[in-house]
Structure formats: structure tokens, C-alpha cells
Amino acid sequence: MSVVLDVKDLVVDFKTRAGNARVLNQVSLDLREGEILGIVGESGCGKSMTALSIMGLIPNPPGRITSGSISLDGQELTSMPAAKLRAIRGNRISMIFQEPMTSLNPVFRIGDQISESVLLHQNVSKKEAWKRAVEMLELVGIPEPAVRARSYPHELSGGMRQRVMIGLALACKPKVLIADEPTTALDVTVQAQIFDLLKNLQEETGTAIILITHDMGAVAELADRVSVMYAGHVIETGSTRQILDDPRHPYTRGLISCVPHLEDNPGDERPYLEEIEGVVPPLTELGTGCAFAPRCKHVMDRCLTTNPVIGRVSQQHSVACHLLKEKELA
Ligand SMILES: Nc1ncnc2c1ncn2[C@@H]1O[C@H](COP(=O)(O)OP(=O)(O)O)[C@@H](O)[C@H]1O
Ligand SMILES: [Mg+2]
């Protein structure tokens, strides 16, 4: 499958009072046509920063993309002028943010908000844009879409607002949709509905999706492949099966240690990332060794001095860990 979005060796730095924080360090990941890529990792690992970098929304200052590349259909985004990026954002790449309540404008009808986005990016009449807005509301499962299009955000429930956000994000038929913890603010039943909706929309529209989530159950059900992040690094990437059944990095193993039970008892509560002892270190204090070393049960001398590079263990499966012996790396 062809690669739609290719992130290579991305480095993002933030100036902070405590010094330079390298929030993304040599991050590489790719998103293929029509797939769902899950990004998992504890809070503060750089998942949202990865999303914001792709969207061209890293606040500069204090942040900046120091090096690396982000390419969309072969077009480099990191060096693109702001005006050109604005034309791509919301059009060819869209994002659903963590807090839907703050992303919808409270003073405009939802139909107008979707129409605006269509008018901004596509050469259509106002009437056609409104029609598209109603179609999008229908697509995301809003009942009586033609009537609902005239509602204001506060007239809708949290789950319905998140549906509107998804409709808004998909209105221009983007190649790539980034969903950053799209269900955090919703209750469990509604979360499951939104995940189902994303899966169905992916199948219907063919949009490739990056799904950032804490919910390993959702990853197991939705994602084709998974990238695991720790302290600004991607430390393991593989197919969802490889990550769940054969995780290689001690951090990944810690994260998913509760997941195998999912298949034994499909009716069980969705498992969440299991706590791993210790915390993500301050990004201003990372030395030259592996960032996970202070929390790792298998730590060796060289882990303290040298950061492991990412290596391939099989087709599609790559890991950054000194535990993997040279011969295991394909
Ligand atoms: N404005 C900022 N200045 C400095 N560091 C920041 C800023 N915003 C976020 N960070 C740091 O960037 C790191 C990655 O954050 P983020 O991508 O939001 O994590 P995640 O989405 O995985 O929870 C965190 O350590 C966070 O403290
Ligand atoms: Mg985040």
C-alpha cells in the first residue's frame, strides 16, 4: 500500500525556563493509504506534539521543528510557506482535537461552521456547501441532519458535538485524519460509538487515520498498525497483531500486559494502559542513554550511555532496544 504521510527523523525542540526540551526526537512513522495507525504511550510522550507538527501547528516560539521531514503525498510540509499550509490544513489533512467543546465556535450554527470550511477550501456555491454540511451530519449519524444543521453547539450533547467535529474534519474529504484522543471527554458508551463511527467512516471514505489514544481496546479493534512513543521517541512500530502478541520493547510489554485477556474475555471492560512504575523523565534532562532505562527492569550498562537506534525485527516490525541482539535484527 502506498504511503500517504511519511514522517522521518523529526526533531522538535521547545525553549523552556529549565532549558531546551526535545519533545520529539528522531520520530519516524508512516501512514499508508486507507489504514488506521494507532499512536500509544503515556501522557507527555509526544503524541500530541507529533500531531501538531504534522498539522503545522507547533507554536513558534517557543517551539520549532529543528530537523527532519514530513511529507504528504510526496510534498514536503516542514518547509512549506504558512499560506500554503493553511490551504492544506482542514482540506487534505484534518484533525480532531482532544477537547471538542473548545474547537466548535459557540456563536455559529453547526451547519454554517461546516459550510465555511467547505467554502474556504473548495470552489463551490454557498448552497452546495450547505448541502455538503447536511450530508456530513448525516454521514456522522446525526438524526434529522437538515434540521440539526441549524442548531448551535450548546444545543447538542457531548457525543453529538464530537460527531459534528468529525463531520467538520471530513467535510473536504481529506487524505489524512488525525484523531487526538477523540473520546477522552465522553462517557464509555459514547466512546464506543465514536470509535465505531471512525472505523465505519474509514471504510466508507478511505481516509487514512492516525488514532492517538490511551484505549488499548480501541487500538486492538481499530488500528491496522501501531507506533509506541516514549519520551519523544517512537520506540516500537508494528502491525497491531505484532504489537499485541509479540511486543519486543519492555515499555510496550508494560503498556499492554493486560491486553491478552481481551481475547479470553471479549466482554470484559476495555483495558487501559497499565501503570508502569516510575514516570516519564523531564525532557530537559535526558542524557545520551535510553530514556526508558531508569524504569526498565532489564537495564544494562550500555542502556545508560547509548540511546538504541530503531532496528527491524521482521517485516513491518521495528524496535529501538539494546535487548534485541544483532542477529534478531533483520
Ligand atoms: N509549550 C510547551 N513548552 C514546553 N514543553 C511543552 C509544551 N507543551 C508541551 N510540552 C511538553 O511536550 C511533551 C510532549 O507533550 P504532548 O505531545 O502533549 O504529550 P502527549 O500528547 O503524548 O500526552 C511533554 O513533556 C510536555 O510537557
Ligand atoms: Mg496529548
DSSP 180-242: ESTTTTS-HHHHHHHHHHHHHHHHHH--EEEEE-SBHHHHHHH-SEEEEEETTEEEEEEEHHH
> What is the distance between the alpha carbons of residues 44 and 23, in angstroms, rounded to a whole number?
9
Strands 19-32 and 36-40, by their bridges, are unpaired
The three three-digit cell numbers of residue 262, written as one number: 481481551
Rounded Cα distance, 272 and 222, in Å: 15
Residue 49 CA, closest ligand 1 atom number: 17
CA 79 / ligand 1 centre spacing (Å): 22
Pick from 49, 54, 233 the residue to mutate for probing ligand 1's pocket: most ligand atoms within 8 Å of its CB: 49
What pLDDT score was predicted for residue 129? 97
**What atom in ligand 1 is closest to the CA of residue 232?**
14
Which protein residue's CA is at the shortest distance from atom 12 of ligand 1? 23
Q: Is the CB of 44 under 6 A from ligand 1?
A: yes
Please give the pLDDT value at position 187: 87
CB 231, CB 291: distance < 8 Å: yes
Task: Report the SS3 class of residue 99.
Answer: coil
The secondary structure of 41-97 as a DSSP string is --TTSSHHHHHHHHHT---TTTEEEEEEEEEETTEE-TTS-HHHHHHHBTTTEEEE-
Q: How remote is the CA of residue 64 from the centroid of ligand 1, in Å?
A: 13
Per-residue confidence (pLDDT) for residue 281, from 0 to 100: 86
**What pLDDT digit, counting tens, does each position of 103-152 carry?**
789 999 999 999 999 999 999 999 999 999 999 999 999 999 999 999 99
What are the phi and psi torsion angles at 214 (to 5°)? -90, -10
Parallel/antiparallel/unpaired status of strands 63-72 and 3-16: antiparallel
Span from the CA of 48 to the centroid of ligand 1 (angstroms): 7
Q: Whose CA is nearest to atom 17 of ligand 1?
A: 46
What is the layout of strands, in order, in the sheet containing 63-72? 19-32, 3-16, 63-72, 75-76
* Predicted local distance difference test score (pLDDT) of residue 260: 43
pTM, two decimal places: 0.92
- Residue 49 pLDDT: 96
Q: Which atom of ligand 1 is nearest to the CA of 229?
A: 22
The whole-number pLDDT of residue 89 equals 93
**What span, in angstroms and rounded, lies between the C-alpha atoms of 29 and 7?**
5
- Distance between terminal CA atoms of the chain? 21
pLDDT along the chain (330 residues), means of 10: 95 95 97 97 94 95 97 96 93 85 86 96 96 96 97 93 94 95 88 93 95 91 97 98 95 77 46 65 88 94 95 94 75
Using CA positions, which residue lies closest to atom 24 of ligand 1?
A: 44
Q: Is 291 in the pocket of ligand 1 (CB under 6 A)?
A: no
DSSP annotation of 315:
T
| Any atom of ligand 1 within 6 Å of the Cβ of 22 | no
Q: Of all protein residues, whose CA lies closest to atom 19 belonging to ligand 1?
A: 44
